[in-house]
Every structure is written in C-alpha cells, then in structure tokens.
C-alpha cells in the first residue's frame, strides 16, 4: 500500500476525552462559528488580549497579495512576553527551565529573564544597534538565544536567527542578505557529546560579511571555555557577552513599535538555490503566536510546556519563545540530542521537569519507535496531558505509538500544520473540541480559511488537490526580505486569476468529513527530518565541487526521516567515480550547507535523463531512487539513460 492508501483507509476516531473538554480553554465550536461569520472581528478580539501601547485604527488592510494588520497600533513584543507578567504577579514563576546536553541546568524566572533581556537590550544599544537594524543570532539552544531575541524586540532591532547546525557559508549568506551589523554567537555548543565550534564558524563566515561590525560571544559554560573550541577574539570587533552584561544597566523601556514593524527575518528553503528571508511583523505575528499557543496547547497556569524545536526554526520562534512567553507559561528548553547520553533522554527530561505538554516532530517519534518502548517505559510520564506533532505528515502508525506509549492512551494529540511563512499554526485540532484521526491535521483553526483546489482554482470538496489559504491572517509573512517580486511569485501566483489565494506549496487530501490530510510538498523542496531543504540548494552546492559537471537531487521516502536526499551526479572529464569521491562529495555538501543537507545516496551517472528541451526529469529520478517502475519516458531525449541508471542504482543498493 502507498502512503495515500494507508491514509484513505484510516478509520480510527479519537473524540476529545470528556474530562479534558470539561477544563479546556476552548470547549465548543463557538469561536469557529464567530470567526466564520467575521474573521477580521475575530482577530481583533484575539489582538485585544495583548498589551497595546496605542490601539490600532484598522484591523486589516488587504490589497492582495499584501496585508497590513492592526495599523496605527503600537506595542512591544518583549513587554508582552515579560513586563506584563511581572505586573500580573508571575515574577517568580519559571519562564525557562533549561537543560544543557551535558546535564547542566538553569532556571530563569520571569523576573530574571526580564532583567537579562533589559540588560542585553542595553548592550545592543551600546554597540550602536538601532531600531530596524538587523542582528544575527547563531547560538546553541541556551537561554541566551531567547534573551537575545527578546532584547532585539525590546529595542526594535530585527533578528535573524541562524540554526547552529548551519555552515559558515550559510551564515555568511544570511548575514549578507540582510546586511546585519551585529552577530551574537557562543564559543561552542554541545551536540551528541561533540562541541560545535560556533565562534570559529562565525569567524569564517565574517571574513566575507562587510556589514558586521560587532560580535558578541556567549561563554557556553559559565566556568570557562568550552571543550577544545579555542576562541580567538578580534580586537575591537569581538566582545564577551558576560563582560558587556556586567557593565550594562538593567533599565530599558520597551520601544513603541508599530504593529507592522518587522520583528524578525527567518530564512527558509525554496525552489531556487537561494534561501528566502521570510519577514514577520510585530503585531500580527504576536497575535497569531499567542492565540494559537493558548488554544491549541490549551495552556493553563501550572503547565510545563516543552517544544523540542531549536530556535533556529520557526517552531522554536513561535512555540519555544514568543507564544508560550506571551502567555506567561513555563517552557522547558533542551540543548542537545534525544539519544544523548542514552535513548531515554527525552523521557528522563519529561519526568524530571514534570512536563505536561510535549510538542515534537514525527521524525523524532519514528526514531523513538524504532529504539523501543523500554526507554519511555522506564520513566513516569503520567504528568503529560497533551501531545503535539509538527513539521511533516505523521503516519498513522507513529501517531498511534505516540498516543499509546507516550500518551498512555489518555492524552489528545494535536497534529499541527503550518509553515515558516504562516508564522503560527493554521490547521490543527483543538484538543477539547475536535475528534482526531491519526494522520490528519483536521481543520483550520478559528480565523483561517483553507481549501483544496485544482489547477484552475476550482474547489475540491472531497479528494486530492493543492492546499490553499483563501483569506489573509495576522501572522502571515509580509514579504521576502529584499525581494517582494519573489514573494508575489512564490505565494500568490499559483492561480493567476486569483491573486488573493495563498499557495503554501503542499498537496493534500480532503475526506468526507472535510478533514485535511496534508501529503507533502508539491514543489522542489524536500522535508528531511522535518527540515526544509531545496533540491536546488543541494545541486548548487554539488556543482561548486571541481569534479562535478552536473547534479540532480530528488527526495526518496525514508522510514525515520520522512524523506532522504538522493543525488545524481555527472563528473567532469578527467574525474573517475570512486567511493572516495562519493564520500568526499557528500561531505562537501555538509560543509557548504550544513550536516542536515548531506545526501544519503549519491550516484554517479554518465548522463542525466533530460527532455529534448534539456530539462532534467526529476520524476524519473524519483522513480529510480524509490525503486518504482519507470513512468513515461517518451519525452526523453535519450531513453537509454534511465534504463542504465536504474540498473546502476539497483546494483548499488544491493
């Protein structure tokens, strides 16, 4: 059976447990109905739960494809995430319960977090950072990552967080695209017992970043330098975080920001070699983040919320930092790998910190399944009351395992579909309201409208098609940094007669109950272990290698990672295909982009299957990579190329 057949035959239903609904934040469909009647009024209601320094004049100005939300309004994100809770008596409540991979621990109360943020905001001001300036953040998952983000928000600087697993070149390109003036990094971070040399990577990147004037370096261990990641400080450019913090004042008023001022840029992969700087603004983003966290995760005052994502991804932005903190929640933050030092690390963390809500990715769930039930069974997970999934389709088998083994059969599961571009969750059950089906992200949250469309924008009530969002929403991206034409082209040009329809790039299925089943990307973007990687990015990296003439990259189904990267490479004259060269090329991609982009398979080929107009037929390469019967080859310039490739692939696999 194919994945789609499995989904089509999925008939299990899980209504919300009655005792869950009884205490839930949202208990019935009143909000769905209100939002369906008037979505703008609904969003204005949600916005009014935040603290505004000045109320907005207009909730929505929509000139497709550009939306402006809450114009005229002013607010500060850090004030909403911090000061508001101090005023409400949450000063001594834990905001961040952090654990490092080696086992070091820190807890920051709202009072302490607010003080650190104000102090670091002054540090940034002292380095000349002003409203609208871009600040790069390239840190391990330590509290300083949240502190740095919130400090930027406090003074109106725009942060651009770069995942610590990305290479120096990736960091360089992101810093240059946004012309960042300051980078915040650390001497290192821990991943599977190894030290990630972030400062050394930063030094390499900055050799070609003329806009960066200052680097702030966090000492990852308060007791001294980390591992052997020897750090060289460049006089005048580099500063130790702890030294600047010692000298800075902790008094810093939150800047008055317009709702439409940019809060952050976050780069994500697209269908070209160049990642897109997704732009999010202040008011709308926070409305989406705060309201979805409260409703989808049913937040209560005494919850301990653990979103396992890194701040380098949108999930970390919205559900590790901004959403939970805007709600005054206690968040767990863990630096390292799930199997370090043992395969029960997550369950050990859940039990020791009393986690009540866990939000993680299908790729992790499938790895846990494979590792065996004995690891979670060794720990008391009885405080868990709600489970979440994000980043890729969750297969029903993994959903059931999550439900039974982790959730003890009692915790609702929220399978949340959204994207870097949407800013916050779009499709998801509400745990006290929606009957779930394993593998389905169910329905749009209140305030959203989604549809399945065919190529002519005709709605498909039941069946398969392209997912579309048919109304603007507050936390939607506003543009692509420096490239509004690409914004229009990528997201609002799929249906030329309907420039108001947002195309997320995903295909989906809709069943008789109207439930959405997101199937995955329909463009040249892969989803490897929940991380978006453009096939063109990997191809561009490969062709930079002196031995490579041409490269084509496709995804292939993978049991744990969802998709794995397969590269087909033709070599320049004078280069011989050897296994040493294969390893070299795989590592080359890892060095260029980051380890997450290292191809799983790499096949040398004398030629690539192309149409007569010279276009590489990826569809055929996918068939080859997944061992399927070859589809139609009649349009190929030279049909013998694929037959040869297929045999070669089979040999290599065997």
Residues of this chain that interact with ligand WTA (CB under 6 A) are 268, 313-315, 390-393, 415-420, 441, 504-506, 518, 520-521, 527, 532
Decide if 463 contacts 509 (C-beta within 8 A).
yes
Tokens linked to 626: 């997944």
- Cα–Cα distance between 178 and 577 in angstroms, integer? 39
How many angstroms separate the Cα of 386 from the Cα of each of 156, 194, 291, 421? Answer: 35, 33, 17, 26
Q: Which of 469, 399, 398, 466 is nearest to 427 (CA)?
A: 469
Of the two residues 71 and 272, which places its CB atom closer to ligand WTA in the complex? 272
Q: How far is the CB of 88 from ligand WTA (least distance, A)?
A: 30
Of the two residues 268 and 360, which places its CB atom closer to ligand WTA in the complex? 268
Of the two residues 351 and 469, which places its CB atom closer to ligand WTA in the complex? 469
Q: Which of 341, 410, 342, 337 is nearest to 378 (CA)?
A: 342
Q: Which of 496, 488, 422 is nearest to 457 (CA)?
A: 496
Q: Look-up: residue for tokens 């690409």?
A: 486
Q: Which of 614, 639, 598, 603 is nearest to 165 (CA)?
A: 598
Q: How far is the CB of 445 from ligand WTA (least distance, A)?
A: 13
Of the two residues 31 and 533, which places its CB atom closer to ligand WTA in the complex? 533
How many angstroms separate the Cα of 647 from the Cα of each of 28, 299, 538, 654? Answer: 57, 54, 24, 11
Nearest residue to ligand WTA by CB is: 420
Of the two residues 292 and 605, which places its CB atom closer to ligand WTA in the complex? 292
Q: How far is the CB of 492 from ligand WTA (least distance, A)?
A: 16
Decide if 553 contacts 540 (C-beta within 8 A).
no
Of the two residues 159 and 532, which places its CB atom closer to ligand WTA in the complex? 532
How far from each other are the two terminal CA atoms of the chain, in whole angstroms?
Answer: 23
Q: How far is the CB of 160 from ligand WTA (least distance, A)?
A: 15
Label the pairing between strands 214-218 and 182-186. Answer: parallel
- Cα–Cα distance between 478 and 488 in angstroms, integer? 10
Of the two residues 356 and 563, which places its CB atom closer to ligand WTA in the complex? 563
Decide if 511 contacts 534 (C-beta within 8 A).
no
Q: How far is the CB of 530 from ligand WTA (least distance, A)?
A: 7
Bridge partners (DSSP) of residue 182 are 135, 214
Q: How far is the CB of 361 from ligand WTA (least distance, A)?
A: 9
Q: How far is the CB of 413 from ligand WTA (least distance, A)?
A: 11
Q: How far is the CB of 519 from ligand WTA (least distance, A)?
A: 8
533: left (phi over 0), alpha (psi -120 to 50) or beta: beta
Of the two residues 76 and 420, which places its CB atom closer to ligand WTA in the complex? 420
Of the two residues 327 and 440, which places its CB atom closer to ligand WTA in the complex? 440
Q: How far is the CB of 482 from ligand WTA (least distance, A)?
A: 19
How many angstroms separate the Cα of 322 from the Cα of each of 291, 318, 327, 437? Answer: 11, 5, 9, 29
Of the two residues 157 and 529, which places its CB atom closer to ligand WTA in the complex? 529
Q: How far is the CB of 591 from ligand WTA (least distance, A)?
A: 22
Rg for the chain (alpha carbons), in Å?
Answer: 24
Is the peptide bond preceding residue 65 cis, with omega within 30 degrees of 0? yes
Q: Where are the beta strands (DSSP E) in 440-515?
A: 450-453, 463-469, 479-480, 506-510
Contacts of 156 (CB under 8 A, 6+ apart): 130, 131, 132, 255, 257, 261
Q: How far is the CB of 339 from ligand WTA (least distance, A)?
A: 22
Of the two residues 471 and 521, which places its CB atom closer to ligand WTA in the complex? 521
Q: What is the separation of C-alpha 248 from the centre of its chain, rounded to a whole number of angstroms?
A: 33
Tokens linked to 200: 């050394």
Q: How far is the CB of 175 from ligand WTA (least distance, A)?
A: 21
Of the two residues 391 and 447, which places its CB atom closer to ligand WTA in the complex? 391
């Amino acid at each position: 059976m194919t994945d789609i057949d499995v989904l089509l035959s999925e008939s299990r239903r899980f209504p919300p447990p009655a005792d869950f609904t009884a205490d839930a934040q949202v208990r019935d469909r009143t909000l769905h109905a209100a939002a369906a009647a008037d979505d703008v009024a609904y969003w204005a209601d949600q916005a009014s739960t935040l603290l505004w320094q000045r109320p907005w004049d207009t909730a929505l100005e929509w000139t497709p494809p550009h939306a402006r939300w809450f114009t005229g309004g002013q607010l500060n994100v850090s004030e909403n995430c911090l000061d508001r809770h101090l005023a409400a008596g949450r000063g001594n409540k834990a905001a961040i319960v952090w654990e490092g991979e080696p086992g070091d621990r820190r807890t920051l109360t709202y009072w302490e977090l607010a003080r650190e943020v104000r102090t670091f905001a002054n540090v940034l001001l002292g380095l000349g950072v002003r409203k609208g300036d871009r600040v790069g953040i390239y840190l391990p998952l330590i509290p300083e990552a949240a502190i740095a983000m919130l400090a930027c928000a406090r003074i109106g600087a725009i942060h651009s967080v770069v995942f610590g697993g990305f290479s120096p070149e990736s960091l360089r390109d992101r810093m240059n695209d946004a012309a960042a003036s300051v980078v915040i990094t650390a001497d290192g971070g821990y991943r599977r017992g190894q030290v990630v040399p972030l400062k050394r990577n930063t030094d390499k990147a900055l050799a070609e970043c003329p806009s960066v004037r200052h680097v702030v370096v966090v000492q990852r261990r308060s007791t001294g330098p980390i591992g052997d990641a020897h750090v060289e400080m460049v006089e005048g450019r580099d500063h130790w975080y702890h030294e600047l913090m010692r000298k800075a004042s902790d008094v810093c008023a939150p800047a008055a920001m317009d709702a439409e001022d940019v809060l952050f840029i976050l780069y994500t992969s697209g269908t070209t070699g160049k990642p897109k700087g997704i732009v999010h603004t202040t008011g709308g983003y926070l409305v989406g983040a705060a309201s979805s966290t409260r409703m989808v995760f049913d937040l209560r005052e005494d919850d301990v919320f653990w979103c396992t994502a890194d701040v380098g991804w949108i999930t970390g932005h919205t559900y590790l930092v901004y959403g939970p903190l805007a709600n005054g929640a206690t968040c767990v933050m863990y630096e390292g790998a799930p199997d370090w030092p043992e395969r029960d690390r997550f369950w050990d963390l859940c039990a020791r910190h009393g986690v009540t809500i866990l939000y993680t990715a299908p790729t992790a769930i499938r790895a846990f399944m494979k590792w065996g039930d004995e690891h979670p069974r060794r720990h008391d997970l009885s405080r868990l009351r709600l489970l979440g999934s994000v980043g890729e389709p969750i297969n029903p088998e993994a959903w059931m395992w999550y439900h039974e083994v982790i959730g003890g059969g009692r915790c609702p599961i929220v399978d949340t579909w959204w994207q870097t571009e949407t800013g916050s969750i779009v499709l998801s059950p509400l745990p006290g309201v929606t009957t779930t089906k394993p593998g389905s992200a169910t329905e749009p949250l209140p305030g959203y409208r989604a549809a399945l469309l065919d190529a002519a924008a005709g709605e498909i009530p039941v069946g398969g098609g392209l997912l579309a969002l048919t109304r603007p929403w507050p936390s939607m991206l506003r543009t692509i940094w420096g490239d509004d034409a690409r914004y229009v082209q990528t997201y609002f040009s799929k249906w030329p007669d309907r420039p108001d329809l947002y195309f997320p790039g995903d295909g989906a299925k809709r069943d008789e109950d109207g439930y959405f089943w997101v199937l995955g990307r329909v463009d040249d973007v892969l989803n490897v272990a929940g991380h978006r990687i453009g096939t063109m990015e990997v191809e561009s990296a490969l062709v930079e290698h002196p031995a490579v003439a041409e490269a084509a990259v496709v995804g292939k189904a993978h049991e744990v990672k969802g998709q794995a990267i397969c590269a087909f490479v033709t070599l320049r004259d004078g280069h011989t295909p050897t296994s040493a060269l294969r390893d070299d090329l795989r590592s080359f991609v890892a060095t260029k982009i980051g380890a997450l982009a290292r191809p799983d398979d790499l096949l040398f080929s004398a030629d690539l299957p192309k149409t007569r107009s010279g276009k590489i037929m990826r569809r055929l390469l996918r068939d080859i990579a997944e061992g399927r019967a070859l589809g139609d080859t009649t349009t190929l310039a030279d049909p013998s190329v694929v037959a040869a490739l297929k045999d070669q692939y089979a040999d290599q696999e065997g």
